[in-house]
Amino acid sequence: MLRVVSFLIVVIFFINTIKCAEILAIFHSPPKSMHLGGVALAEILAENKHNVTFVSSVEISPPPRTFTHVFLDDVAEASGGHMNYFNMNTNSYHQAYLLEHIGIGVSNATIRNPKFKQLLSSKKFDLVILEAIYSDSLIFIAEYLNVPLLLYSSVDAFYFSNFIFGNYAPASFIPNLLTGYTSDMTFFQRVDNLLISIACYLMHYTVGIPTHDIIVKDNFRNAPHIAEYNNKASVMLLNSDSSVTQPVPLVPGMIDIGGFHIKKPKKLPRDLEELLNNSKHGVIYFSLGSLLQSSEMSNQTIKTLIEVFSKLKETVLWKWEDEELPEKPPNVIIKKWLPQNDILAHKNVKLFITHGGLHSLLETVYHAVPCVMIPVFFDQKRNAKRAQSCGFAENINFEELTSEKLELAVRKVLNNPKYTESVKKRSSIMRDKPLSPAETLLFWVNYVIRHNGAHHLKVSSLKLAWYQYFLLDVSVFLAACLIFSILLIRYLFQSMMGKRTTKKIKTK
Ligand SMILES: *[C@@H]1O[C@H](CO)[C@@H](O)[C@H](O)[C@H]1NC(C)=O
Ligand SMILES: *[C@@H]1O[C@H](CO)[C@@H](O)[C@H](O)[C@H]1NC(C)=O
Ligand SMILES: *[C@@H]1O[C@H](CO)[C@@H](O)[C@H](O)[C@H]1NC(C)=O
Ligand SMILES: *[C@@H]1O[C@H](CO)[C@@H](O)[C@H](O)[C@H]1NC(C)=O
């Protein structure tokens, strides 16, 4: 008994001595899904004794209890204001261009924001965590404060995460996120993948990086060139998990924490719980995430959806951001906001119709609900293809949506048990881990603080120039040696032959 008590005292003492750190988390990107990932991260750190100051461009109401929120009200505007993504050009080159420019706009607006500038001198921070999508200039903040930096990526290893971490990602089997390909590419897809990868690289290094350098120098006099601190971080947490994203090589500092945002399901509001409990034929949950407003779809698309839903016996729970849905069939229930994680956890939910964003995908696999995916842009097409190849989803590109295709897909997934079996398998893979994703996140944040940036994890490819990395210098050298040897042999051979012939001529 005494032993148990003293053991407990030691354990409690140990837990209490985990160092509390002052953390600055910068999640400036306006898309709500990125912001929500940041909120989940800040909550986990705050619940584990860290003081977190969370900077974002989306309001939180009511204000968070566990951490300090600094709301930058002019950053969302800098991304070009509100966009209807259903009309967005889905060409991957155009997407790369748009994302690069949005990144420049929002990073610039963040650095210039007076509230943000004031924050930097208001406290002494121990760590900066930065959402690392097209935000190179903000890396300088950690350099300026002279504290370690940890990066977070809302997606899996992306092309510029690979650049700044020296991660090995050949275009032969690692598709660029924007192409929508999976690892199994045909010859021409590999051609396309290589070309877009080169285009992204050139755009980032001829437009992106130099502009970010200007942004930093505009705001901090005497700032060094961006190349001097661009590789400052040694650890990047990725919102991916091999149960849903494809397995890829990762350098030791790149850590999968996909699924960390998923909380233990809470009790549903009474009306929703009754609805879910009492739907005799089960419930279909339909949501296109936080970025895509389903009320912004064209009238034609809405008609298509209603036509299909009205033929089903299941109840359809639809996240619809308007007050009314004209011609709504009786089995369709609309709500402006729905607690997605708690709904997916309910046993009576038979199918999730989703856009295939990473957060939704991770949640549906965690709760083992099969899907019909209607991907729109960015990583969604790739996610949907992968979900289909894992056997737990059917997949229709948004621009190809017709009522026949949708009805066929919905009926397939509802009637064939194969989809549920596959998603259960994936779910058990996702849950089979030594540490939960949230614990992994916490471990690595503490690790980076304990080891002052954890620079021992950096791979040495970062010290090489690109032509050294691809061994072009060595190849040229070897080719030169080969050519020289061939020429030498030919010369020797010829001169030998020459001597012989001259001998012959002499003997004649
Ligand atoms: C965290 O915040 C509390 C309350 O503001 C403060 O007393 C404490 O010193 C802070 N911890 C660190 C490590 O700064
Ligand atoms: C940053 O924003 C300011 C104000 O909008 C603008 O004048 C400046 O040109 C921007 N800088 C870059 C590099 O885009
Ligand atoms: C719904 O069903 C669950 C389990 O069957 C039950 O515990 C809960 O009380 C029910 N809720 C309502 C509102 O009927
Ligand atoms: C779509 O339908 C609504 C209501 O039925 C109507 O007010 C609106 O003008 C329609 N929009 C288009 C683009 O046809």
pLDDT(505) > 70: no
pLDDT(424) > 70: yes
Q: How confident is the model at residue 11 (pLDDT cuts 50, 70, 90)?
A: very low
Give the closest ligand to the alpha carbon of residue 303.
4
pLDDT of the residue at 427: 96
What class has domain 270-431?
alpha beta
- Which distant-in-sequence residues (6+ apart) come within 8 Å of 273 by Cβ? 267, 346
Q: How far is the first Cα of the chain from the last one, in angstroms, to the nearest whole number?
A: 114
Tell me the C-alpha distance between 220 and 141, whole Å: 10
Q: Is 240 left (phi over 0), alpha (psi -120 to 50) or beta?
A: beta
What separation in angstroms does the CA of 47 have from each of 40, 147, 322?
A: 11, 22, 35
Mind listing the pLDDT tens digit for each residue in 136-183? Answer: 999 999 999 999 999 999 999 988 899 889 998 999 999 998 888 888
> What distance in angstroms lies between residue 282's CA and the mean position of ligand 3's atoms?
14
CB atoms within 10 A of CB 388: 17
Q: Averaged over 39-49, what is the pLDDT?
A: 95
Q: Is 134 left (phi over 0), alpha (psi -120 to 50) or beta?
A: left
Closest atom of ligand 1 to CA, residue 124: 14
Q: Which CATH superfamily is domain 12-260+436-463 in?
A: Glycogen Phosphorylase B; (3.40.50.2000)
Contact 459, 165 (CB under 8 A): yes
Q: Averaged over 308-320, what is the pLDDT?
A: 92
Mark 36-55 as b/e (b = at least 16 C-beta within 10 Å).
Answer: bbbbbbbbbbbebebbbbbb
Maximum CA extent, the chain: 115
Q: Averaged over 71-77, what is the pLDDT?
A: 88
Of 250, 266, 264, 267, nearest to 436 by C-alpha is 264
Q: What angle do CA 302, 388, 339 make, to 5 degrees?
A: 55
Q: Indicate if ligand 4 lies below 6 Å from the C-beta of 87.
A: no
Q: How confident is the model at residue 466 (pLDDT cuts 50, 70, 90)?
A: confident
Nearest CA residue ID for atom 1, ligand 1: 51
pLDDT of the residue at 293: 73
pLDDT of the residue at 297: 81
Nearest CA residue ID for atom 4, ligand 3: 277
pLDDT of the residue at 98: 85
Percent of the chain with pLDDT over 70: 92
Sign of dihedral through CA atoms 155, 129, 442, 360? negative
pLDDT(70) > 50: yes
Closest atom of ligand 2 to CA, residue 105: 14
pLDDT(208) > 90: yes
Nearest CA residue ID for atom 7, ligand 1: 51
Residue type at 184 in one-letter notation: D
Mind listing the pLDDT tens digit for each residue in 324-377? Answer: 888 889 999 998 889 999 999 999 999 999 999 999 999 999 999 999 999 987
* Beta-strand relationship, 22-27 and 127-131: parallel
Q: Which residues line ligand 3 (CB under 6 A)?
A: 270, 273-274, 277
pLDDT of the residue at 508: 57
Tell me the C-alpha distance between 143 and 140, whole Å: 5
pLDDT of the residue at 14: 47
pLDDT of the residue at 68: 94
pLDDT(18) > 70: no
- Which distant-in-sequence residues (6+ apart) come within 8 Å of 384 by Cβ? 356, 373, 374, 375, 393, 395
Closest atom of ligand 3 to CA, residue 278: 14
Asked if domains 12-260+436-463 and 270-431 share a fold, the reply is yes
If you average pLDDT over every residue of the chain, what do you get?
Answer: 89
pLDDT(305) > 60: yes
Q: Look at 126-130, 313-317, 324-328, 385-389 and tell me which has the smallest mean pLDDT.
A: 324-328
Q: Look at 122-131, 378-387, 443-452 and tell me which has the smallest mean pLDDT.
A: 378-387
pLDDT of the residue at 328: 86
Tokens of 2: 């005494």
Q: Which helix (H) or strand (E) holds 359?
A: helix 358-366
Domain ranges of the chain: 12-260+436-463, 270-431
Tokens of 385: 């293809």
pLDDT(5) > 90: no
pLDDT of the residue at 278: 93
Name the burial class of residue 442, with classes exposed (0-12), middle (13-18) and buried (19+) by CB atoms within 10 angstroms of its CB.
Answer: buried
- Which distant-in-sequence residues (6+ apart) come within 8 Å of 130 by Cβ? 25, 26, 138, 139, 141, 142, 149, 150, 151, 152, 233
pLDDT(266) > 80: yes
Closest atom of ligand 3 to CA, residue 273: 13
Nearest CA residue ID for atom 8, ligand 1: 51
Nearest CA residue ID for atom 13, ligand 3: 274
Nearest CA residue ID for atom 10, ligand 4: 299
Contact 289, 209 (CB under 8 A): no
pLDDT of the residue at 2: 52
pLDDT of the residue at 480: 97
Mutational pocket test of ligand 2: of 79, 106, 108, 134, the residue with most ligand atoms within 8 Å of the beta carbon: 108
Q: How confident is the model at residue 290 (pLDDT cuts 50, 70, 90)?
A: confident
Q: Averaged over 88-98, what is the pLDDT?
A: 78
Q: How confident is the model at residue 405 (pLDDT cuts 50, 70, 90)?
A: very high
Closest atom of ligand 4 to CA, residue 326: 5
